[in-house]
Amino acid sequence: MAMKLLGVIFAVCLLLPVSLHAQPTGTRQVEVEASGFGGTQDEAIRAGLASAVSQVNGTSLQADQVTASSNVVGAVSNKDGVTEDVDVTLSASISARTQTSGNIHSYDVLSLTKIESGYEAKLMVRVYRYDTSASSARKRMALLQTKAKNSKYFVFRNYSGSELAGLMTTAMEQELVQTRKFAVLSRDNLAEIGAELNLISSDATSREEKAKLGRMLGADFLLLPEIVSATGSTQSKTIKITGQTETWSAGSIVVSVKVIAVATGEVKYAEQYSSSTSSENSRGLVANVAKKAVTDIVEKIYPKQIIKVSSSGVIINAGGRSVSVGQRYNVFLPGEVLFDPYTGESLGSEETFVGAIAVSKVLPKMSHATKVSGGGFEPGMIIRPTSTPIAKSKAPVQPKQPVSGVALPFD
């Protein structure tokens, strides 16, 4: 049956991607073999170009009775070496709306065939595509600006609520990034990011740069911190008999944290964390409570694991500032996964204590540890921090099984 042509009706693309640059991230060219159909030779070629771009960068689809449009922008050179700027708008009255956008480096016309309904063009098209880094494949956590219940605080000096909240946001962001378990998204610099994207979309940058547009990541989860209370003061008194002056400092901070699933708005986790200090160090106080909160959240979602065992010890999948030399961990063998009989939700797995390890060397992404007690360690075993050292000369005391915590929908 002959196709009824209204502008450009249809475009079919056979995707044969060939990476021309072996870059793990950034803009690269993808070579695509595409077919396009149209009432004229020009329409068939342009339909093929639009189809190639849609296969590389995707096509959005909405079910409406409207005029569909596809847009392609690029500098193209045909088989005869003629170069032209292409800004294509293709339309057809169909029961769906499609939108395709992208940038083409160049194309070759492989064949142009007259058919009953018009022309079929087969093209080899080189399309720009921006590939995100491997870390973008992680679950995405957007850290929102910390809220402060009060407009002013005195923590060894005067702070406005926004100033102390800014310190907290920065400290939590640093801790989250160090865990390397989430793609941490910035929501604190959207104006600056928007200005840079506007520059990229302008005529001041190349078409290759424009492949970065439309690649901003959306969050799976929102992390919302709030300062509940914060105090810090230094006091002194003079001993009459000796004339000596004693000075002491005391500070504390309490922060509440929520984790919300973006897709549903469901509060997946909510907890309060506190920290205190006897030194006149407000930034240290903020950093300590931020580390407590982030460590606890990540430990409940992604507990650290042994990833390799050797004669000299084990390697664990955590490093950077999230681990310190000398820190001790209890090692557990995960067992049967248990489920809540009412909700059907996973409660975590049973865990059997098998021994303890101590960190001996910290690297940016992993750490080495030696055995303190027990044995039979294997990759995949879970480790949890302990503040109580286990003596080598005595049989380890069976610790209370830790609570597995919340199960966020990561699987």
User: What are the helix (H) ranges across 119-260?
Assistant: 161-179, 190-201
Greatest Cα-to-Cα distance within the chain, rounded to the nearest angstrom: 112
Closest CA to 58 of 10, 100, 105, 12: 100
Q: What is the pLDDT of residue 387?
A: 64
DSSP per-residue codes, 141-173:
EEEPPPEESSSEEEBSSEEEHHHHHHHHHHHHH
Closest CA to 127 of 230, 203, 211, 234: 211
DSSP state of 344: -
Domain CATH code at residue 266: 3.40.50.10610
* Cα 45 from Cα 35, distance rounded (Å): 8
Final residue belonging to a domain, choices 80, 115, 131: 131
Are both 124 and 187 inside the same structural domain? Answer: no
Beta bridge partners of 140: 183
Are both 158 and 263 inside the same structural domain? Answer: yes
Query: Tokens at residue 143, please?
Result: 């850290």
Q: What is the pLDDT of residue 51?
A: 80
Are both 127 and 138 inside the same structural domain? Answer: no
Decide if 181 contacts 138 (C-beta within 8 A): yes
* Cα 292 from Cα 313, distance rounded (Å): 27
Are both 292 and 232 inside the same structural domain? Answer: yes
> Rounded to the nearest 10 degrees, what angle do helices 161-179 and 282-301 cross at?
40
* Cα 268 from Cα 318, distance rounded (Å): 24
In a domain, residue 267? The reply is yes
Cα dihedral value 59, 61, 65, 66, nearest 10: -40
Mean pLDDT per 10-residue run, the chain (411 residues)?
Answer: 35 37 62 87 86 66 38 46 44 38 76 90 82 73 92 94 94 88 82 86 80 78 94 86 84 94 88 92 93 88 90 91 90 90 82 94 93 93 74 41 46 46
Closest CA to 13 of 30, 37, 29: 37
Are both 312 and 288 inside the same structural domain? Answer: no
Are both 293 and 309 inside the same structural domain? Answer: no
Number of domains in the chain: 3
Helix and strand numbers (H, E) in the chain are 4, 22
| Domain hosting residue 216, numbered range | 134-299
Domain CATH code at residue 360: 2.40.10.410
Q: What is the pLDDT of residue 75?
A: 45
In a domain, residue 308? The reply is yes
Instruction: Give the pairing type, strands 103-115 and 66-77.
Output: parallel
**If you search the block for the tokens 């700027």, which residue do you land on?**
85
Are both 151 and 291 inside the same structural domain? Answer: yes
Q: What is the pLDDT of residue 131?
A: 72
In a domain, residue 223? The reply is yes
In a domain, residue 140? The reply is yes
Q: What is the pLDDT of residue 93?
A: 35
Q: What is the pLDDT of residue 50?
A: 81
Are both 116 and 177 inside the same structural domain? Answer: no
In a domain, residue 172? The reply is yes
In a domain, residue 102? The reply is yes
Closest CA to 327 of 336, 337, 316, 335: 316
DSSP per-residue codes, 61-82:
EE--SEEEEEEEEEEEE-TT--
Q: Is the whole-model pTM more than 0.85?
A: no
Are both 201 and 288 inside the same structural domain? Answer: yes
Instruction: Give the pairing type, strands 183-186 and 140-143.
Output: parallel
Q: What is the pLDDT of residue 356?
A: 95
Query: Tokens at residue 245, please?
Result: 């002056």
In a domain, residue 402? The reply is no
Final residue belonging to a domain, choices 299, 315, 339: 299
Decide if 88 contacts 70 (C-beta within 8 A): yes
Beta bridge partners of 38: 119
Q: What is the pLDDT of residue 185?
A: 85
Final residue belonging to a domain, choices 131, 159, 177: 131
Are both 94 and 170 inside the same structural domain? Answer: no
* Cα 86 from Cα 411, distance rounded (Å): 43
* Cα 56 from Cα 348, distance rounded (Å): 40
Q: What is the pLDDT of residue 126?
A: 82
Q: What is the pLDDT of residue 57?
A: 64
The long-range contacts involving 186-193, CB below 8 angstroms and separated by at least 24 positions, are 186/143, 187/142, 187/143, 187/144, 187/145, 188/143, 188/145
In a domain, residue 395? The reply is no
Are both 149 and 295 inside the same structural domain? Answer: yes
Are both 105 and 202 inside the same structural domain? Answer: no
Query: Tokens at residue 375, please?
Result: 């044995």
Cα dihedral value 20, 23, 26, 30, nearest 10: 20
